[in-house]
Chains A and B, each alone.
Chain A
Amino acid sequence: MAALVRRMLAIGFKSLILVGMLVAACAPAPAAPTQQPSGRQAVPGAPSEIKIGLVTFLSGAASGPFGIPARNAAEVWVDKLNREGGIGGAQIKLVIVDENVPTDQQVVQLRRLALDEKVDLVIGYISSANCLAVAPVAEELKLLTVLFDCGTNQVFEEAKYKYVFRTAAHTGIDGIGAARYLLTVKPDVKTVAGLNQDYAWGRDSWEIFIRALRKLKPDVQVLDTLWPRLQQNEFSGEISKLLALRPEVIFTSFWGGDFVSFINQGRPRGVFDQMTVLFNNDGANIEEFGKDLPDGIIIGFRGPHWIEYPDPKENPLQKEFIDLYRAKYGRYPMPHGSYHVVQALQGVKAAYEKAIKATGRWPSVDDVIKAFEYLEFDSPSGRISMAIGYGHQAVEPAVYGITKFDPQLGFSRLDRVKVFPVKCVNPPDGVKTLDWIEQGFPGAQC
């Protein structure tokens, strides 16, 4: 019996992987938009279409809050770009694949995109582990790969890449922004506790936050750090312990189901009345909560990716993005995935156009890379600058605010918003995040 179970398990897991591969291989490419370029002169040597592989979670726990809102935004934005003439006259065609395969399979999938699908470039990856796994392979394949959403600061701090870029800020600004914002609204804070999922991003989030906070206010005391399983969803024990300890502030990097479950279970037990809860990322849809999100929660955004920041009245791209997204999906774009993928598309377009201008013809990968490094481009999230990681890593300001229900909007709006400028929360080029914190943020301009 035992042997049988073991055999079944072994075969079961092998078949899981096999099926995963099959699913990945069969993931359908959506129909390409078919509009013709609107009369703009094509660049010499330009192909009729430019094929972009988009890797995002279409299934699994990260698909709801991040993956599918990213795909939706990509489709809306690609339609718009194609209506306006694509990239240098070439229509963008997306080849969408599911990121929900084991990390070792990501590499296989990336190879398939490069060799079988023959994509011109890849925009992808929400999971930090996946970004770290694919970057060296992209380099090996000489495949331009734009990481669009993953958070880990290690990508360009621990290695140097030629073919890999990231058009969104890394998670450093989550933690540093959280510490700075907390001290703005609660300058006398004495006690904090951590409640983070036990995996790489949860550990990194806490590490960066607590080091930044201790640097800025050395007498802060950590009462406890709790490490529940990823997507545990049941937090009776954690909540009891926190209620007994009564820290002034709970720092958490929960996202998705855990985020919602913690709110559902904590609210009736008074967690949000008795303590300030700080989420370092908006890892669940604030709009979906309606009136059920407690007031007074601190929520952070890894950059200005909220419906009111940047102000749509002052940023026409932001207004256009929100309007297009709402017209098609009947809701607001999600701050993480939706905005990040549009940043990537805008970055790619700007890099190609800059390269075309410089060379006068359809650019090679090397031309595009040269144009991409230290590029600045406009997006619905404002002007993005590829200022660090030797020109491969974007910087963004950090945005933090406190939830307050708005009956007119039908969900919570952000109150007491503070935008921390780029140089206040991002280390300078070539400096590692944790080193920068340790040295006391030299050169920070707040």
Chain B
Amino acid sequence: MLTERLLAVLFDGLIFGAWLFLVSAGLTFVYGVLRVLNVAHGSFYALGAYLAATLVGLVVGRGLSPALTYPALVLAALLVGLTVGPAMERLLLRRLAGRDEVTGLLLTFAVLLIFEDVIKLIWGVTPWAADAPYGALGQLKLGAVTYAVYPLALIGVAALMGVLLWFLTGRTAFGKLVSAVIADREVSAALGVDVGRVSNLAFSLGTFLAALGGALVAPMISVVPGISVEVIVIAFAVTVIGGLGNVAGAALGALVVGLVRTSALYFFPELDLFLVYALMTLVLIFRPYGLFGRAEIRRI
């Protein structure tokens, strides 16, 4: 009985953790490479979800194979990443160079508010469903409990995404260019690095990640106004626990929060909500820079 329960905690914890990582990876990545706490992450997430719902609706509405809904999800994220990302970096974020980090927070918050209404103008306020990909992968019976395969598959997707991101930032020439630009924009430029292009690419990738989170999660949820703000809160908690700006930290944060919350659900359901924030508080007390973050010397 207890092993069965522990197995369930592990499964559901991994599912919840994967979901958390998918919705927060973009936020922590953009902070890591551009030092902008991108509140508009929530908007990109919502745009990805809405566009995914629209494309899935098109695929299903035309009677095409449900298998085509999966590329539709990725396509939705690509569309957002390739249009909104570069435009926002070029038109807005580039002007932030040399300003206080708070300016970036305010700027991206303004973008979030604008997009909240733009989304309502385009998609209205009634919920959009994109549940076809969720059901199409079928179910799996584990003991007495039936699981849907889609969220289990997301565990794999999240893990793959984490590894790719780690590889990209730590092991490729692009990653090294990005680190150089973060360390010193002027010296990088003097050394011949196209600083603008690197920042633009990096931010677009972050936008794509946010939209991909939205697109992959869309089949499980109801796509409604307000999801942009909700995701920011939870993504923020996860990334702060892991260490803002650190992709591996976000993965660990997501895993820890997922497992803690699910254990609470099974063993102390009354404390479900409390434990997640208690965990965040503890981490902030003992490691204010997050589990994976490093204390930094402030330059005055």
Which residues of A sit under 8 angstroms from B148, Cβ to Cβ? 265, 268-269
The bracket for how many chain B residues form the interface is 35 or more
Smallest Cβ distance from A179 to chain B, in angstroms? Answer: 22
- Near B by CB (< 8 A), chain A positions 59-77 give 59-65, 68
Q: Are B269 and A227 in contact (CB under 8 A)?
A: yes
Q: What's the count of A-B pairs with C-beta under 8 Å? A: 178
Q: Are B145 and A243 in contact (CB under 8 A)?
A: yes
Smallest Cβ distance from A318 to chain B, in angstroms? Answer: 22
Q: Are B225 and A269 in contact (CB under 8 A)?
A: no
Q: Are B134 and A64 in contact (CB under 8 A)?
A: no
Q: Is B151 an interface residue (CB 8 A)?
A: yes
Residue of B nearest to A59 (CB): B116
- Near A by CB (< 8 A), chain B positions 69-100 give none
- Near B by CB (< 8 A), chain A positions 264-292 give 264-265, 267-270, 284-285, 288, 292
Which residues of A sit under 8 angstroms from B15, Cβ to Cβ? 234, 236-237
Q: Are A240 and B220 in contact (CB under 8 A)?
A: no
Q: Is B221 an interface residue (CB 8 A)?
A: yes
Q: Is B65 an interface residue (CB 8 A)?
A: no
Q: Are A264 and B220 in contact (CB under 8 A)?
A: yes
| In-complex Cβ contact of A243 among B4, B144, B269 (8 A) | B144
| In-complex Cβ contact of B127 among A15, A244, A257 (8 A) | A257
Q: Are A237 and B12 in contact (CB under 8 A)?
A: yes
User: How far, in whole Å, are A2 and B298 apart by their CA atoms in the complex?
Assistant: 10
Q: If A231-B230, A236-B15, A268-B148 touch, does A285 touch B126 (CB 8 Å cutoff)?
A: yes
Q: Are B224 and A257 in contact (CB under 8 A)?
A: yes
| In-complex Cβ contact of A241 among B8, B37, B219 (8 A) | B8
Q: Are A59 and B269 in contact (CB under 8 A)?
A: no
Which residues of A sit under 8 angstroms from B219, Cβ to Cβ? 264
| In-complex Cβ contact of B125 among A64, A233, A243, A270 (8 A) | A64
User: How far, in whole Å, are A352 and B120 apart by their CA atoms in the complex?
Assistant: 36
Q: Are A264 and B221 in contact (CB under 8 A)?
A: yes
User: How far, in whole Å, are A83 and B220 apart by their CA atoms in the complex?
Assistant: 45
Q: If A15-B109, A59-B226, A64-B225 touch, does A8 touch B272 (CB 8 Å cutoff)?
A: no
User: How far, in whole Å, are A422 and B148 apart by their CA atoms in the complex?
Assistant: 43
Interface size on A, residues (CB 8 A): 56
Which residues of B sit under 8 angstroms from A233, Cβ to Cβ? 217, 220-222, 227, 230
Q: Are A4 and B222 in contact (CB under 8 A)?
A: no
Q: Is A200 an interface residue (CB 8 A)?
A: no
Q: Is A5 an interface residue (CB 8 A)?
A: yes
The A interface is mostly helix, strand or loop, or mixed, namely helix
Residue of B nearest to A228 (CB): B272
Q: Is B41 an interface residue (CB 8 A)?
A: no
Which residues of A sit under 8 angstroms from B139, Cβ to Cβ? 268-270
Stretch at the interface among B156-164, B169-177, B193-201, B258-266: B258-266
User: How far, in whole Å, are A198 and B102 apart by their CA atoms in the complex?
Assistant: 32
Interface string of B268-300 (1 = CB under 8 A from A): 011011001000000000001100011110100
Between A12, A16, A284, the greatest number of chain B beta carbons within 10 A of the residue's beta carbon is seen for A12
User: How far, in whole Å, are A178 and B270 apart by their CA atoms in the complex?
Assistant: 23
Q: Is B129 an interface residue (CB 8 A)?
A: yes
Q: Is A225 an interface residue (CB 8 A)?
A: yes
Which residues of A sit under 8 angstroms from B225, Cβ to Cβ? 59-61, 63-64
User: How far, in whole Å, are A260 and B225 apart by their CA atoms in the complex?
Assistant: 13
Which residues of A sit under 8 angstroms from B270, Cβ to Cβ? 225, 227
- Near B by CB (< 8 A), chain A positions 1-22 give 1-8, 11-12, 15-16, 19
Q: Is A366 an interface residue (CB 8 A)?
A: no
Q: Are A64 and B224 in contact (CB under 8 A)?
A: yes
Smallest Cβ distance from A271 to chain B, in angstroms? Answer: 9
Q: Is B58 an interface residue (CB 8 A)?
A: no
Smallest Cβ distance from B266 to chain A, in angstroms? Answer: 6
Q: Is A327 an interface residue (CB 8 A)?
A: no
| In-complex Cβ contact of B226 among A63, A259, A269 (8 A) | A63
User: How far, in whole Å, are A84 and B200 apart by their CA atoms in the complex?
Assistant: 59
Q: Is A23 an interface residue (CB 8 A)?
A: yes
Q: Are B272 and A226 in contact (CB under 8 A)?
A: yes
Q: Are B221 and A261 in contact (CB under 8 A)?
A: yes
User: How far, in whole Å, are A357 and B145 apart by their CA atoms in the complex?
Assistant: 66
User: How far, in whole Å, are A268 and B262 apart by their CA atoms in the complex?
Assistant: 21
User: How far, in whole Å, are A236 and B154 apart by their CA atoms in the complex?
Assistant: 12
Q: Is B147 an interface residue (CB 8 A)?
A: yes
Residue of A nearest to B105 (CB): A12
Interface string of B214-246 (1 = CB under 8 A from A): 000101111011110110000000001000100
Q: Are B288 and A2 in contact (CB under 8 A)?
A: yes
Which residues of B sit under 8 angstroms from A224, Cβ to Cβ? 269
Residue of B nearest to A69 (CB): B125
Apart from the given pairs A264-B221, A285-B127, A288-B127, 15 other A-B contacts in the complex at a CB distance below 8 Å: A2-B289, A11-B102, A12-B105, A12-B106, A15-B105, A59-B225, A61-B230, A236-B147, A237-B9, A237-B262, A265-B134, A265-B148, A268-B135, A284-B222, A292-B129
- A-B pairs, top 9 by smallest CB distance, nearest first, are A260-B222, A61-B226, A237-B12, A1-B296, A2-B288, A64-B125, A236-B15, A233-B221, A261-B221
Interface residues of A (CB under 8 A from B): 1-8, 11-12, 15-16, 19, 23, 59-65, 68, 198, 224-229, 231, 233-234, 236-238, 240-241, 243-244, 246, 256-257, 259-261, 264-265, 267-270, 284-285, 288, 292, 331
